[in-house]
Amino acid sequence: MVKISLDVMGGDFGPEVVIPGAAKALERHPEITFVLFGQRDKCEALLANYPKLKEKSVFHECDVAIGMDEKPSQALRRGRNVSTMWRSIAAVKTGDADVAVSAGNTGALMAMAKFCLRMMPNVERPAIAGIWPTLKGESIVLDIGATIGADAKQLLDFAVMGGAMARALFEIERPTIGLLNVGVEEIKGQEDVREAGRLLREANIDSLNYYGFVEGDDLGKGTVDVVVTEGFTGNIALKAAEGTAKQIAAYLRAAMSRSLLSRIGYIFAKGAFDALREKMDPRKVNGGVFLGLNGIVIKSHGGTDAEGFAAAIEVGYDMVRNGLTQKIENDLKLYHALLPSSAGPEAA
Amino acid sequence: MVKISLDVMGGDFGPEVVIPGAAKALERHPEITFVLFGQRDKCEALLANYPKLKEKSVFHECDVAIGMDEKPSQALRRGRNVSTMWRSIAAVKTGDADVAVSAGNTGALMAMAKFCLRMMPNVERPAIAGIWPTLKGESIVLDIGATIGADAKQLLDFAVMGGAMARALFEIERPTIGLLNVGVEEIKGQEDVREAGRLLREANIDSLNYYGFVEGDDLGKGTVDVVVTEGFTGNIALKAAEGTAKQIAAYLRAAMSRSLLSRIGYIFAKGAFDALREKMDPRKVNGGVFLGLNGIVIKSHGGTDAEGFAAAIEVGYDMVRNGLTQKIENDLKLYHALLPSSAGPEAA
C-alpha cells in the first residue's frame, strides 16, 4: 500500500483536474490510498463521479486554498496549518501519507515544504529534480529552480540525491552523473562546478558513476542518467528546451497546412504524427521532485490535465515504492563519511 | 566597399569551406573585398577555382594555423603575430579590414581578439552575441559563452551592446531588451540580474526599450529583440535548445519512416518538410559576434559548410554596413553619462 496526500485545490484547475487524475492513477495502481485536502463544496459533487476513488480516499475539509500567484511568504502566513497545500505536506510529516502531490505554485509549495518538513541532516539547500526526455529514454536534471547559485558542497548533495532518485526511478544500480558546464576551457568563473567535479571524482562512491562535465546539448542526447547544475541555469535550460519544442511544433503545424499536397501527406502520415506527439507529450514527464527534505513532495505542472496529474502521482508512487528517502539518507551518510572535511563549504 | 579579413585555416575543414563560402558571399554582395590569411600550399589550387574571389582578394601567406583543440594560452604563445587567426584579427586593428571572420576555436579566437584589439573604453568584459531564430523572426542573445558570471555593470554593458547590434542587424530604432531570469519570486541569488534591471529601468535611454525579465521559454517565442544573460547560462541555454531541435528532428525522422503509410505521407508532404528543414537550418543563423572589443570579430561555427560560412560573413557585412562599432561606442558613452556613479561595479 502506498499512501498519497493530494492538495486538491492546487493548480490552474484544482479539483477538476486533481480528482480525475487521482482516479486514473488509482485505476493503474489499485494499491494506492489517498488522503485528500480540499474545500468540500468544490470537491464533493466531482468526487461522487469516481466511486472507486471515493472509497480509497479520506477527505479532509480545509478553509484555505493557496492562489497560483501568491508569494511564498504570503502563502505561508495565510496558509500555514490551514491550507490544502500545507496540510497535504503535513500529512507526510505525521506519517498519514508517504508522499504529497500538488499542482500549486512552486514558490509557495517549496516554502511550505521546507518549513513543515525541514531539511535533511547534512543538506543545506533543497533541489527540484525534473525528468528530461532524451534520445535514449529519460534523465534526471536537478536543480531546476529551487536553489540559485549552488556552491560545490551543494552541487555534491544534488549529485548524491539525484543519483538516489535515478536508482529509485530507473532501477539502475550505478547511475552516471554529469556536471553541467560550458565547453570553453580556461575561462574564469564556475570554480564551484570544477571543485564539485574534483570532489566527486575523488570520492568515487559505489552508488554513483561520475562521468565528468556535460554540456547543454548532452541533455537531449541522454549522455548521463543525472545532470547536476544550480537552479538558475537548470531552470533556464529546461524552459529554453520546452520553448524550442513548442517552436518546432508550431513550425511543423504551419508546414503541414501550407498546401493541399502537404495536407494530404499529413493524412497519410497521421499515425506517425500521433506517435511523434506522444513522444513529445509534456504530460508524460510531469512531476518535479523536491529533494533534500525529510519527506517527498511532488510538484505537478500547474496547467496540466488529468493525465498529466496522474503522471505526477505515479512519479510519487515510484519514489515511495523504491524507498527514495531511505536511499538518499544512506547515500548522503556514506558520502559525508568519505569526505569528512573537504566537502565543507570552506573548501569551495 | 566592405573589407573582410578571413582566417582561411580556421574550422574543421579550413580552406575547403572558407574559400567556397567567401565566393558565395561575394556573389551576393559584390562590393565586398577580402583579405585572406592562409597557408599557400593548402589554398592556392582551391582559390584558382574561384576567379572572381581571387580577383577581389589579397592573399597573405602565414606559417601557423591554430588547431581546433589548442588551449587559448597555447594558441596565443604559438600564434601571436604569425598565425592566420591572429593576422586576420590584426587586419581589423590596422584598418586593412573592417571585420574579421574565423571558424577557428572560440577560446583561442577570443583570447587573440582581446589581446590584439583590446577592450573598448568603459567595457570590462567581452560578450559573444548569437542570433536566435524565434517564432517572430530572430533575436539577439548575449552572452553565449565569453564571460562567466557577469555582474550588474557587465550585464548593463551587454544590454547596451546587444541593443546596438539589434539596431545594426534588424534596423529597428528602439529594440526591446529582456534580462534572462527565473520566474520564481522571493528566491535568493542573482542580485546582479535584479540590480541590472533596476539600472536599465532608471536610465531609460532613447536607444533601448527595457522590457523587464524574460524566462527561458521567451527565447523561442521572440518576446524581446535582445536577451541578456551571463555566459554560463547563455551557453547552456543555447546548447540545450540546439540539442532539443536535434532530438525532435530525430523523432520526426523515426516517425516518418515507421510505416508504409507514413513514408507515402512523407512523399506528399516533402515540400512542407523541406520548408521545415529550411526554417530549422542552423547554418542560416551561423555567426557569433564578439562585442566589447575595438573592432568586430565574427566567430563561425567550426563544423559549418560553405553556405554556413557565407552566412557568418554576411553577419559581419551587415554589422559593418550599419556601423555597429560606432553605434556601440555612442550608446555606451550615452549610457555612462546617464549613470555616472551607480553603474560602477561598486554599486552591484
Report helix, strand or coil for B196: helix
> For position B348, what pLDDT does the model report?
36
Instruction: Please state the rounded mean pLDDT for residues A296-311.
Output: 94
Of A106, A185, A266, the CB nearest to B265: A266
Choose between B243 and B259: higher pLDDT.
B243
| N residues, chain A | 348
Residue of B nearest to A187 (CA): B148
Q: pLDDT confidence of A342, banded at 50, 70, 90? A: very low
Choose between A256 and A39: higher pLDDT.
A39
Domain residue spans of chain A: 2-117, 127-282+328-347
**Which stretch of A209-223, A311-325, B261-275 has the lowest confidence by average pLDDT?**
B261-275
**Cell numbers found for residue A190:** 564556475
Cβ pair B261:A269 closer than 8 A: yes
What fold, for A127-282+328-347? Isopropylmalate Dehydrogenase (3.40.718)
Sequence-separated contacts (24+) of B340-346 with Cβ below 8 Å: B342/B199, B342/B202, B343/B153, B343/B156, B343/B199, B344/B153, B345/B124, B345/B151, B345/B152, B345/B153
Mutation site for A-interface testing, chosen from B135, B230, B233, B280 by largest number of A Cβ within 10 Å = B233
Instruction: Please state the rounded mean pLDDT for residues A287-313.
Output: 94
Cβ pair A187:B231 closer than 8 A: yes
What digits encode the pLDDT tens for the residues B7-43?
A: 999 999 999 999 999 999 999 999 999 999 999 999 9
Choose between A85 and A284: higher pLDDT.
A85
Q: pLDDT confidence of B342, banded at 50, 70, 90? A: very low
> For position B267, what pLDDT does the model report?
82
Mean pLDDT (chain A, rounded) = 89
Mutation site for B-interface testing, chosen from A106, A223, A232 by largest number of B Cβ within 10 Å = A232
- Give CA–CA dist A214/B262, Å, rounded: 35
Burial of residue A63 (number of CB atoms within 10 Å: 0-12, 13-18, 19+): exposed
Instruction: Please state the rounded mean pLDDT for residues B304-322.
Output: 93
> For position A339, what pLDDT does the model report?
65
Of B73, B145, B270, the CB nearest to A184: B145
> Quick one: angle between helices A270-279 and B260-268, nearest 10?
100
Instruction: Please state the rounded mean pLDDT for residues B168-194.
Output: 82
Q: Which residues of A touch B236 (CB under 8 A)?
A: 180, 182, 215-216, 229, 233, 236-237
Asked whether the CA dihedral A65, A67, A73, A78 is positive or negative, the reply is: negative
What digits encode the pLDDT tens for the residues A16-59?
A: 999 999 999 999 999 999 999 999 999 999 999 999 999 999 99
Instruction: Please state the rounded mean pLDDT for residues B266-279.
Output: 78
Mean pLDDT (chain B, rounded) = 89
> For position B279, what pLDDT does the model report?
73
Task: Check whether A188 has a pLDDT greater than 60.
Answer: no
> For position B5, what pLDDT does the model report?
98
Q: pLDDT confidence of B331, banded at 50, 70, 90? A: confident
Q: What is the CATH number of domain B130-250?
A: 3.40.718.10
Cβ pair A239:B232 closer than 8 A: no
> Which residues have CB under 8 Å from A181's CB, separation 6+?
A190, A193, A213, A214, A215
Cell 528543414 belongs to residue = B277
What digits encode the pLDDT tens for the residues B36-48?
A: 999 999 999 999 9
What digits encode the pLDDT tens for the residues B61-76?
A: 999 999 999 999 999 9
Report helix, strand or coil for B44: helix
Mutation site for B-interface testing, chosen from A184, A279, A290 by largest number of B Cβ within 10 Å = A184
What fold, for A2-117? Isopropylmalate Dehydrogenase (3.40.718)
How far out from the chain centre does Cα A284 lie? Answer: 12
Tell me which architecture the domain covering B2-124+283-327 has in CATH.
3-Layer(aba) Sandwich (3.40)
CA distance B150 to chain A (A): 9
Cβ pair B185:A107 closer than 8 A: yes
Domains B2-124+283-327 and B130-250 in one fold: yes
> For position B254, what pLDDT does the model report?
84
